[in-house]
Amino acid sequence: MAQFHYQARDNRGDRVEGHIEGGSAEAVADQLLARGVTPVHIRRTRTGGSRRSGPKLFQQKVTLTDLIIFSRQMISLTKAGVPIIQAILGLASTTRNRRQADVLRAVADELESGRSLGDAMSSYPDVFSALYVSIIRVGEESGRLEEAFAQLARNLETEKDTRDRIRSAMRYPVIVLVAISIAVAVLNIFVIPAFARLFESFGADLPWATQVLLTTSSFFVTWRYWLLGTIIVAVIGFRLATGEGGIAEPLWDRLRIRIPIIGDIVLRATLARFARSFSMALRSGVPVITALTVVARATDNVFIAGRVQGMRSAIERGESLYRSAVAAGLFTPLVLQMLAVGEETGQVDQMMEEVADFYEREVDYDLRQLSTYIEPVLILAVGAMVLVLALGVFLPMWDLGTAALS
């Protein structure tokens, strides 16, 4: 466990500082926000004996499915009256995910040392998100831990269902594009060179389509290893640059919600996740400022997270939630109207739940229509490739046959 020195401001604006243990600076910030103080500066001072399971690159990831199963099992165990430490150690011994098992054992160790469940979970932000930890803390403080796990399980199941539907809808076009790419590579490297030797034996001028095919094939054959290496390096570089903490992550997160057809679906799915998470946090009793802070990190999009943080800053300056949402420029007029009604009636959590349902219905409809939008584009691409190939291969033979008959 690492030791951090922090400087913060309390509710009255007075400066406070001290030392606190945590798994990361973000985890420490979450602990301070839960205490009602706003962190200003957090600095790591030393590292304790926190349990590790090897380099992060080779660690097994804890998936949404793992968290859903864990949350559902904790509901049953807490309902049965099993002590928290005993429940967590029992789940650690039964899970097949080694990373999750290590984390659960470490959480149990911290519980035995006197820390709360929320604080113990906050030491592992790669497993338990800031939103997950905040809901657990509220459940602990209110004595409704079982209800907190139930809300988390429902939220995670909804998020997993949305992600699975998006992946399922994208599977067909991705498979077609990969098949086209493989076919182009095989034709240019193996098939067209065989025809090139045949065309050279004709000793005649070749049509433009054939010249295009031969030039492209020659380029592929000459530079194929360089092309393969460039593609591999480009893919790895793209993943590193646009991944979490990458230098191009903000730019990519902004561009991917503006991709024609697909970008709108990604945007609505992200906003649905934001609305449902925000609703769950408010319903659990998390303060609005804290809820916006933790929900911003749950969007998995740096650009949208920045807009949500802007909403939080606006509310801190005294603006209403509705006006801050208008300034964010993320929501449709209908959603803004629902948010205004929720703020006037004091039912923001209920309205945000309806906003999430609204976005998810739109995402579901768009996903069903996605193949209708993409199939014509794919058919045109395949048709153009077949047309150029047919013209390039058969026109010289046609010219040769015509010359022989005349």
- pLDDT tens for 262-293 read 888 888 888 888 888 888 888 878 888 888 88
Residue 145: pLDDT above 50? yes
Residue 71 confidence (pLDDT)? 92
Residue 26: pLDDT above 50? yes
Residue 204 confidence (pLDDT)? 62
Whole-number percent of the chain with pLDDT over 90: 8
In this structure, what token pair is assigned to residue 229? Answer: 């290496």
| Mean pLDDT, residues 353-357 | 88
User: Which residue in the block uniquely carries the two structure tokens 């049965």?
Assistant: 80
Residue 49: pLDDT above 50? no
User: What confidence tens digit (pLDDT) does each residue in 185-205 have?
Assistant: 888 888 888 777 777 776 667
d(CA 142, CA 285): 9
User: Which residue in the block uniquely carries the two structure tokens 């150690």?
Assistant: 89
pLDDT class of 2 with cuts at 50, 70, 90: low
| Mean pLDDT, residues 22-28 | 69
pLDDT class of 144 with cuts at 50, 70, 90: confident
DSSP H/E element including 4? strand 2-9
User: Which residue in the block uniquely carries the two structure tokens 């004091």?
Assistant: 346
322 to 17, 268, 301: CA distances (angstroms):
34, 19, 22
> Within 10 Å of residue 231's Cβ, how many Cβ atoms?
11
Given a contact cutoff of 8 angstroms between Cβ atoms, the answer to whether 284 and 135 are in contact is yes
Average pLDDT, the chain: 82
d(CA 85, CA 117): 9
| Mean pLDDT, residues 113-123 | 85
DSSP 3-state of 47: strand
Residue 140 confidence (pLDDT)? 84
Whole-number percent of the chain with pLDDT over 70: 90
User: What confidence tens digit (pLDDT) does each residue in 154-178 have?
Assistant: 888 988 888 888 788 778 788 888 8
d(CA 354, CA 338): 8
Torsion of CA 40, 45, 51, 56, to 10 degrees: 70
Residue 44 confidence (pLDDT)? 67
Residue 226 confidence (pLDDT)? 92
Which of 78-82, 351-355, 365-369 is least confident? 365-369
Residue 47 confidence (pLDDT)? 43
